Each structure stands twice: as structure tokens, then as C-alpha cells.
Amino acid sequence: MRRSQVAIQVNHPERKENVVKRLGQWQKENPQFRLVGIVANIEFNVRAATLAARELGLHQATVVNTDFQVPAKDEAVAMVGQRIVTVKSSADLGRLRGPWVIKNPFSGGSRGVLIARTREEADRTIAAINEMVPHAGADAVRVSAERMYRGKQYSMQCVVRDGRVSVLTFSENLVTIGPPEGIENSGLRSPVERGHLLECGAQIPGVRGSGVPVALLTKAQQTVEAVRYTDGPLQIDLLQEHRSRGAGPVHLVDVGYRLSGNELPDDVQFVSGRTWGVEALAALLGAEVPPGYEFTPTGPRPAVAHYALPRDLAERIRPELVAAGWRVGEPSMRPSETERWKELMGEREAPKLMVAINQHWGETVVVRKAGDRAQLWNELIELHARLLASSPDITTPTQFLESAGALGPAAEERMAARDAS
């Protein structure tokens, strides 16, 4: 039987009845296919997908259907041996060196994540996060803080089978730092993943440097072993620290036991030649390994670049993008956070800050292009430079860290000296 994956859009997918209705409708419209399983692409929708799968008699490729207990984001970081602290104020930072990445356990990727250069900024940021009410509907928020490192950021799209990580694709990411959309003069700053260059994770014979870097694969394997995750999909974000003598250690940034959104599974299939959703279901169910799982390409695979531009900038340079071969998407914005909150919280008003931080990139246009890795990377850098030049409020992580060094008080320097000794 031929196996394939399809992305089905569901309005308010956090509600089980919406998932059931939409899947039933899709099956009637596509009788030539038989649905066998559901893979949620974001943690907030896992519970609804699980309940819908049970009602429809489908398999559910998510960790809630196994013996695996999903650790909170901060717990996963601590389990791999990285230092992370729970904070109510900057006093709880102790000797943890800044700048700091400050977030709550319901954060995902760059959503709901803020950063601070000084302890004064940390106090303001912690207070802001404490005003948020997470999507899960809890009234209390546990705020955590980690040190922010200088380095390259990566994402990896994987399948875990019998505790072993297989990387389908990986990407080096381009990140910006700026104020959350819609919150003026707050002094808050939030990171946004803007650009990705997706490459095949398999080693290609005769192509030097092909395949996922060993240090990233080692960290991914260490992570699944630490959290005791054995089977299913895996999306993991990592940072390889840059030091004066070259590449440093790899740090876990975020981990999700799911597929990714934003058409990424389609890009994964195009680049790797493997179907992420099908392989995730097979791994979780202990089914026969689908063809292509142990993938050894015989020649170079295409790379895919995509970049999220603010709508106004994308419209200004659209003719240039089209002429250069970029596929320009339609303007998109995350579904109304206010409406989502109303579904979860009844008449309780959604905090303005939470809405803004979850929509901090505003309305965006995603542009995509396939081709040679080196050429695509140069073009991504050009787009990144255009965005940075378009707004004085947007900066890079490196520039942010340099500004933090200039602001750092003598006390922080003394702490750093003590840590070094």
C-alpha cells in the first residue's frame, strides 16, 4: 500500500470537535485515500488530536499515546545538563551570567520568549511574562532563565526509532531581535527566527561536508536519551557556541515531540526524499520501516531556503524576488490570538502583552527557493541584510550581545571572573 502524508488545515485545532469534523469532511472529499493516523504539528493541539484519533479510530503519532511523559521545556534543558533557573525576580538569577533568555514552559520556538541584557531589564521582562496566561489556561506561569550564548542556531527534523535519532533534514537559522509587535516603548526584546536553509541530513558519498554535523547529531541523541524518548517525531533546536578558538559546545534551545508547521514537512520531503509524517507514525507504532528510512542519496540533494519578510518590505521588493526565482507566498498572520483566548478563557480578556508577543513578527510574507546550498545561503544573507537595514529597532543576536557587554555592570564582570576561576 502506498503511504503518503497530507497537511489538513483545521480552524481552532485545539478543539477536538473541530478536528473530527474537518477530518470527516476531508475523507468524504477524498474517498480514494484512507486516513490511518494523525500527527499534530504543535504541542498546543496534541490533546485535541489525541481525542479525535480515539473517536475516529485512527492512530495518533504523539507522545501522549505512549509511556513517555513529556517534560516541560525547562525540565528538558536541565535534564541534558544545562544550567537553567526558575525566577521570580532578578535576585533569583544568582551567579548565572547574562544576557539571559527568559521564557515560560509553554513557550515554543521564539514564541513567548524574551531576552534581557541587565538585571533591571530582567526584572521588567519577568514581570511582563508573569502577566501572561499560557495557552493551556493555567493561572500561574513558571518563568525560567538561561544564559544567552553567541553562536550559530540550527533546527533538525528527525524521527526517533528504538531510541535512535535519524535526521531527515537540518537547517542553519537566521535570527533577529527586536521589540514585540504592537508594544511600544516597553523596552522588551524578543527573538524571531527569520530565515532557514534546509539541507539533507544524510551523508552523501563523495560530497565533502554533507550530512548533519556530528556535534549536532550527538546533542540530539543525548537529548532523547536524557528525556527517555524512544519513538516518534522530533523537532529540535540547537545552538553551537562560537568561541575565539573556533566552534564550542552545542546547547539545547528547544525540543518538540512533533512535526513542524508552516509547510516544513513538505520541504523536508522535497529535500530528503523521505516522508516525515509517515515515518513518524511507523516509528511510534513499531511498524515496518517505510522505504527510504535508511536513506543513502547517490548524489547531491537540493536545498531549500525560506525567509519571513515583513509584508511592507516584501511588497516593495516583490519584483526583485520574483526575478531572482523566489516563490513569494501570500501575506499571513497567526490566527487571531484574541479569538483563540476567547475559546480557552471564556469572557476573560486576553492580555495585550501576550497577544503582541505571540504575534511579534506582525504580518509576514514567506519566500521560498530551491537550489544550490552555497548560492541560497548568499541570497538569504542578502535578504537578512535588507531587513536589518529597514528598521533601526531590529538587530542580530551578535549585535545584541555586544550591546550587552557595553551595558554590563562591574558586578557582572566580577561574577564572570569568579566563574572563570
CB 166 within 8 A of CB 293: yes
Sorted by sequence, the CB contacts under 8 Å of residue 325 that are 6+ apart come out as 369, 371
Q: What is the structure's pLDDT at 323? A: 95
In CATH, the architecture of 73-403 is 2-Layer Sandwich (3.30)
Q: What is the structure's pLDDT at 319? A: 95
Q: Please say if the pLDDT value at position 390 is more than 60.
A: yes
Q: What is the structure's pLDDT at 350? A: 45
Averaged pLDDT of the chain: 78
Lowest mean pLDDT among 74-88, 112-126, 139-153, 281-295: 281-295
CB 274 within 8 A of CB 292: yes
pLDDT in tens, 360-389: 445 778 899 999 999 999 999 999 999 999
Q: Please say if the pLDDT value at position 271 is more than 60.
A: yes
- Please give the distance of CA 254 from its chain centroid, rounded to a whole number: 7
pLDDT in tens, 348-362: 444 444 444 444 445
Helix axes 264-272, 276-285, angle to 10 degrees: 90
Q: What is the structure's pLDDT at 353? A: 44
Q: Please say if the pLDDT value at position 83 is more than 50.
A: yes
Q: What is the structure's pLDDT at 411? A: 40
Q: Residue range 107-126: average pLDDT?
A: 80
Of residues 122 and 284, more confidently modeled: 122
Q: Please say if the pLDDT value at position 18 is more than 50.
A: yes
Q: Is the peptide bond before 99 cis (omega within 30 degrees of 0)?
A: yes
**Based on the number of CB atoms within 10 Å of its own CB, is 353 exposed (0-12), middle (13-18) or buried (19 or more)?**
middle
| Cell numbers placing 74 | 525547562
pLDDT in tens, 310-338: 888 999 999 999 999 999 987 765 444 44
pLDDT in tens, 22-64: 888 988 998 888 887 777 666 667 678 778 888 888 876 555 4
pTM reported for the whole predicted model: 0.80
The band of 132, judged by pLDDT with boundaries at 50, 70 and 90, is low
Q: What is the structure's pLDDT at 51? A: 83
Q: What is the structure's pLDDT at 351? A: 46
Max mean pLDDT among 204-208, 259-263, 369-373 falls in 369-373
The band of 221, judged by pLDDT with boundaries at 50, 70 and 90, is very high
Max mean pLDDT among 136-140, 175-179, 214-218, 229-233 falls in 214-218
Q: What is the structure's pLDDT at 167? A: 93
Helix axes 46-56, 16-29, angle to 10 degrees: 50
Q: For a pLDDT cut of 70, what percent of the chain falls above it?
A: 74
Torsion of the alpha carbons at 128, 134, 138 and 143, rounded to the nearest 10: -50
Q: Please say if the pLDDT value at position 129 is more than 70.
A: yes
DSSP-based three-state secondary structure for 47: helix
Residue 145 has what DSSP assignment? E
Could you tell me the residue ranges of all domains in the chain?
16-65, 73-403
